[in-house]
A and B are shown apart, each in its own frame.
Chain A
């Protein structure tokens, strides 16, 4: 069965710091990988997605993620965070039937 792990549950950064959130998955087939963000009181929004091709994927709001197949990883990065990036971030694995398996989420707090 597939699974997704996000090892950082809580991350606190100062503005302008660089961000990297870890995501590892377990699945034997072709993977589609996603990062979603949930701002306080809002719905899950798609940040970026990987299906195939270039393993470095760029998303909205300056975020990017790198798919490393040998490490079963899809880490999210941003070179310089802002206070408005404070949110919860979810990594998700898409498998057959378009079902998403989510990681546990990482709460990011950016201090001004």
Chain B
């Protein structure tokens, strides 16, 4: 069964540092997403990406965040200057179509900002 792969599984970074979270979506999927889950809270939508541009983004996705598809396989989330409150599990997902949901999620990257 095709998988969405995320690396690293756990990253610890110092406050103020830049981090890049990496994802390899399923190869024939065209829509890509990032979600996050702060410990004890709901899974929250960050951003969706299609055709090399952002389709939707939430209020959480401010100027500190950016996404990129640098090549044909990777999809990255960059946090420019991490804050303590960015500590969370970050999930990448991909889907074949825009509507009708039912993404495939990756296993997540646990980001800890110290």
Contact = CB atoms under 8 A, between A and B. Distances in A.
Interface of A: 32, 34, 36, 42-46, 49, 51, 90, 92, 94, 97-105
A98 B48 contact: yes
Interface of B: 4, 31, 33, 35, 41-45, 48, 55-56, 58, 91, 93, 95, 97-108
A104 B97 CA distance: 26
Counting chain B CB atoms within 10 Å of each CB, the highest count among A34, A99, A102 belongs to: A99
Nearest to B108: A43
B106 A43 contact: yes
Main SS of chain A's interface residues? strand
Given A103-B42, A104-B42, A98 B98 contact: yes
B57 to A, nearest CB: 10
A36 B41 CA distance: 16
Nearest to B104: A46
B91 A43 contact: yes
